[in-house]
Every structure is written in structure tokens, then in C-alpha cells.
Amino acid sequence: MPEQSSASRFEDVALPHLPAAYNLARWLVRNDQDAEDVVQEAYLRAFKFFGGYRGGDSRTWLLTIVRNTCYSWLQRSRSRELTDSIDDTHEDATIDFANPELQLVQDVNSQMVRESLAELPLEFREVMVMRELEELSYKEISTIADLPIGTVMSRLARGRKRLHTLLATRIGVETKGVS
């Protein structure tokens, strides 16, 4: 069987992911035509550096290039979008963070959550901390805790329910059907 050309191999690796590439670009640049341009540029980059592709998850490889191309395009075309902080939302504009009463309420709420979390049994607390505070994936938690992913998910669900019950009790809200 003759060896496949580089262009043909690239098509086999990259073209199946075209819809995902366009979808990612569309969500990042928020415009159909711009997304098409970005994807075209990303595919040109991918083809140019295809010699360095050593196999593996081609979707992840290609979407990484698409994402990077989107960010480069945004930097050139709409640098303002890259400097908007995720914390600079319009909802926050009405909150007066200099208000000492508001700060006290936030501090009390944070303390209540910490205390309630500390009351959870260890098996729930450890997965809650890894997922909610450390933002680890289920797979990472599974590896760290040496548990099946299903057990991690179950403990998270049960831990969240217990945390909800503890918090509701602390603020005097009656809960039904939560154990």
C-alpha cells in the first residue's frame, strides 16, 4: 500500500473536526464571518506545522490551535474584549463594596459556608474541597482519592445536599426531602 501524502494525512486528521473548530471559534469571536476567517487561518497554521504533529488526540490538538488563533485574532481586531475582566459585569456595578454592612454580610456568609463545609463527614468534605475550591476535574479527584469516578460524583452530590441542609439550618430555612 503506498504511503499517504502529508496533505491527505492532514485531511484525515483535521477535517473531521471542522464543525467543532467552527463552533469554538463562533463562541469565542461571536460572529459567523469572523469565525470562518479564524478557522481558515487556524487550519492554515495547523497544516503549516503538521509535520510536528506526533499523533494522539487530534481534536484536542486542532482545537488548541483554533483557540490560540481566536485569541490572536481578538488581540488584533478587538483587544478591548480581551481586557474586559470577568469580574467587571454590569450586575456588579450596583453593588457598593465600600458599604461596611454589605461586607459584613458577605463575611458572615463566607464564614457560614466554611463552618458548614467543615462539619461534613471527611468522605464528602474531601471531594467537595477538591471540586469546588480547587476546581479539580472528576478524573483528577478520582486519581487523587483512588476512587471510581461514579463514587466521586455520588459523594459530590450527597455532599452538596448535606451542605445545603447545614446552610439552611444555619439560616433557619426549612428543607424538605434533603438528607
Query: 26-82: per-residue pLDDT in tens?
Result: 776 778 899 999 999 999 999 998 988 888 878 778 887 887 898 789 888 876 555
Q: Interior CA angle at 47 toward 43 and 49, to 5°?
A: 120
- Supply the DSSP string of 35-103, one letter for each residue: HHHHHHHHHHHHHHTGGG--SS-HHHHHHHHHHHHHHHHHHHH-HHHHHS-TT--TGGGG--TT-HHHH
pLDDT at 56: 80
Give residues with Cβ within 8 angstroms of 166, minimum separation 6. 116, 119, 120
Decide if 120 contacts 162 (C-beta within 8 A).
Answer: yes
User: Each residue of 124-177: pLDDT tens digit?
Assistant: 876 887 788 776 689 877 877 778 999 999 999 999 999 999 988 888 865 555
Non-local (6+) Cβ contacts of 63 within 8 A are: 17, 20, 21, 24
Give the pLDDT band of residue 88 (cuts 50, 70, 90).
Answer: very low
Instruction: Give the residue carrying C-alpha cell 481586531.
Output: 77
User: Half-sphere exposure (CA, 13 Å, Cβ side) for 10?
Assistant: 13
Q: Which three cell numbers stand for residue 90?
A: 454590569
What is the location of CATH 1.10.1740.10 in the chain?
6-83
99-171 carries CATH number 1.10.10.10: yes
List every span in the chain annotated with CATH 1.10.10.10: 99-171
What pTM did the predictor assign?
Answer: 0.47
CA atoms of 62 and 51, how far apart (whole Å): 14
What is the total residue count of the chain?
179
Q: Which CATH architecture is the domain 6-83 placed in?
A: Orthogonal Bundle (1.10)
